[in-house]
Structure 1
Amino acid sequence: MKPLVSVIIPTYNREKFLKEAIESVLAQTFRSFELIVVDDASTDKTPYLVSRYPLRYVRKVKRQGVSAARNTGIRLAQGEFIAFLDSDDLWLPEKLAEQIAFFERRPEAVAVQTEEIWIRRGKRVNPRKRHEKPSGYFFDRALELCLISPSGVMLKRKVFREIGLFDESFLACEDYELWLRLLTRYPVFLIEKPLVIKRGGHEDQLSATPGLDYFRLKALAKIYRDPLLTPAMRLLVIKEAKRKGNIYLKGALKRGKLYQAFEVEQIFKKMMKNPGLPSILALSRPKN
């Protein structure tokens, strides 16, 4: 019998955290799942560690990034539902059970996430108000920052056939880009229970590196071309792209990184080539 849920853990040199992540999945009260660990060419003892657990292990010969690792897992998945877990995060035992129960109550839904407990450098912290997770349609709020957690969300596998997989050209913010595609089409619901422990503050996290606004700008330029965007949504994308672009541009000029300023200019040029842009901009002009 095929599992109902496919759990995908992408990992790279996370031997220190991976054991606990795997064991948090295996401790789930909901049992109809498969666990797929995709190793992005780790150089530590990850292969030995995973050999002790009942899971499917795929090791890449060459490092390709987290997007490619997640996509590999999606392609191998047999479950009706997909759940991701970053290898430094943990699930509480009822996480999968709560999400499956939600889908049983709301069969029309395609995605639901849970609340999280945030741990930074070993201490619990409270997220800022701007990081509070909405429920439903929140494309507008998701433009500013990533409001869907890979470790907290569960999706119907069939949705990837419609929106596509993670964009492997993104070195960072690959989840932000995918969630914009998802939210253009569907609501993402929230279970208001903290069922994920999100551990941060360690040195190898991409989310701690500078320059993320560049990849968010790329994501905005990409979603701007999505034919399903309404005129109002396009205006929101332009507004946020300008805001992020100004922040990135000021930082680039301050650091003397002229090539980064050029990159921003190229992103905006691509957006301006969209034939629908003039009429959209006309809508935003104040009336005399």
Structure 2
Amino acid sequence: MTPEVSVVIPTHNRCAMLLEAIDSVLAQSTAAFELIVIDDGSTDGTSENEHLRRLAETIRIEIDRIDHRGPAAARNRGVAIARAPLVAFLDSDDLWSPTKLERQLAFMRDNPGCAISQTGEIWIRNGQRVNPAHRHRKRAGDIFIDSLRTCLIGMSAVMMRTDLFRSSGGFDEHMTAAEDYDLWLRILIDHEAGLLDEPLVTRRGGHPDQLSAKTPALDRFRILTLAKLLADDRLSPARRTSVVEVLAEKSRIYAGGLRRRGKIEEVRLYEQVADQARGWDTRAAAEIGCAIESMRSMLREISHER
């Protein structure tokens, strides 16, 4: 029997938290799912964990191991082998409330025109509940422009049509951070986001191996995303203007930070992007393509240095 939703959990060196995340899926009030765990080259014994092996042998969990390539590649691999018409992601450090899938599946059935939706979240940082800032407030509908400055879709809260994910090209595997911001914006060009405004996800942050905590200067990845958007023919003139505005703003701020750290070569690139972006309102394809490649090249160099 084909499941209604494929649940994809990527993991890297988080065996204990992974088992908690899996338990929260197995405790769901509906059984209409398959669970796919992608071990992204863990070296902490995840693939040899006896409890995890027993789970895979006795219930509907598929565990696939790949060479370490980051969460984008791990999630893409999970969706590649997914069988359900819907896919939901759960980060291995997060948890679901027992009715999360049941409530969200019902929401998707009740809103057949909705291709992507999310639920509310509870935020935990360093073991304490915190209230997200107003700019992180979730909302439904056309949230493309609002999402340019702040990622407004939570990875562990999202559910979407599998064919939409695949047709969008999935996560950009060259981005080692902000790959979610990148994909959601590409999808939000054509699709409104549904919201089941119930706190059905516990988002756990503050632990030392959290990717956002380990990755400095996340805005360099967001700037690349915004430049990529300007190479997309689907943008309306109004949306294009908004992307240009945020791109120039973020590039200027990031260049200022680089200058304070003496990174002069990088400063030149991002100041040039900020200066040229104003002319990209009308799609200067050659300049945009050159800027995208320069940013990708610089990110690769930084990655190799680390």
TM-score by length of 2: 0.87
How far apart in 2 are the matches of 1:231 and 1:251? Answer: 31
For 1:257-276, what aligned pairs fall within 5 Å after superposition?
257-265=263-271, 267=273, 276=282
Partner SS, residue 153 of structure 2? coil
Residue in 1 that maps onto 2:54: 52
Find the counterpart in structure 2 of residue 42 from structure 1: 42
**What's the offset of the Cα at 1:267?**
4.8
Match of 1:212 among 214, 218, 223: 218
Counterpart AA for 1:22:
I
Distance change >3 Å, CA 160–CA 244, structure 1 → 2: same
Whether 2:30 is the aligned partner of 1:30: answer: yes
Q: Do the aligned partners of 1:89 and 1:196 also contact (CA within 8 Å) in 2?
A: yes
Q: What is the CA deviation profile of residues 106-146 of structure 1, one whole-angstrom value per residue up to 9, with x for unaligned ones?
A: 11110110000000000100111111011111101100011
Q: Distance in 2 between matches of 1:147 and 1:226?
A: 21
Q: Is the CA contact 2:142–2:192 (under 8 Å) kept in the aligned structure 1?
A: yes
- The structure carrying a bigger helix percent of its residues is 2
SS in 1 for 2:76: helix
Matched letter for residue 97 of structure 1 = E
Q: Deviations over 1:76-128 (max 9, x none)?
A: 00001000000000000100011110111111110110000000000100111
Deviation at 1:272, TM superposition (A): 7.4
Does structure 2 conserve the Cα–Cα contact (< 8 Å) formed by 1:120 and 1:200? yes
List 4+ stretches of structure 1 deviating above 3 A: 265-275
Match of 1:130 among 126, 131, 135: 135
Cα shift at 1:52: 2.6
Residues 85-124 of structure 1 mapped to structure 2, 5 A cutoff: 85-124=90-129
2:281, 2:246 → 1: CA distance? 19
Partner secondary structure for residue 233 of structure 1? helix
Task: Find 2:233's aligned residue among 227, 235, 243.
Answer: 227
Task: Kindly indicate whether the alpha-carbon contact (under 8 Å) linking 1:218 and 1:267 is maintained by their aligned counterparts in 2.
Answer: no
Match of 1:283 in 2: none
Deviation track 1:154-178 (CA, whole Å, cap 9, x = no partner) reads: 0011112332210001110000000
Residue 86 of structure 2 is aligned to residue 84 of structure 1 = no
TM-score of the pair, normalised by structure 1? 0.92
Query: Is 1:190 equivalent to 2:195 in the alignment?
Result: yes
Q: Distance in 2 between matches of 1:275 and 1:56?
A: 46
- Using the TM superposition, give the Cα deviation of residue 260 of structure 1 relative to its aligned residue in structure 2, in angstroms: 2.5
C-alpha offsets along residues 7-26 of structure 1, whole Å, 9 cap, x if unaligned?
00000001131110000001
**Distance of 1:15 and 1:270 partners within structure 2:** 46
Pair 1:275–1:111, CA change in 2 (3 A): closer
What amino acid sits opposite 1:147 in the alignment?
A: L
Residues 268 and 74 of structure 1: CA distance in aligned 2, closer, same or farther (over 3 Å): farther
Cα distance, 1:274 vs. partner? 5.5
Provide the secondary structure at the position in 2 that maps to 1:204: coil
Contact 2:247 2:277 in 1 (8 A): no
Contact 1:3 1:33 (C-alpha < 8 Å) held by counterparts: yes
Counterpart of 1:218, as a letter, is L
Superposed, which structure 2 residues align to 1:174-185 within 5 Å? 174-185=179-190
Q: Look up the match of 2:18.
A: 18
Matched-pair contact (CA < 8 Å) for 1:113–1:154: yes
Change (3 A) 1:202 1:3: same
Q: Per the alignment, in what secondary structure is the counterpart of residue 28 of structure 2?
A: coil
Does residue 252 (structure 1) correspond to residue 254 (structure 2)? The answer is no
Per-residue deviation, 1:271: 5.6
* Residue pair 1:2, 1:78 contacting (<8 A) in 2 also: yes
Residues 221 and 270, structure 1, Cα contact 8 Å, conserved in 2: no
CA distance in 2, matches of 1:152, 1:250: 34
Separation of aligned partners in 1, 2:138 and 2:24: 23
Structure 1, unpaired ranges of 5+: 279-288
User: 1:31 and 1:230 mapped to 2: Cα distance?
Assistant: 42
| Residue segments in structure 2 that go unaligned for 5+ positions in a row | 285-306
Alpha-carbon distance in structure 2 between the residues aligned to 1:204 and 1:74: 24
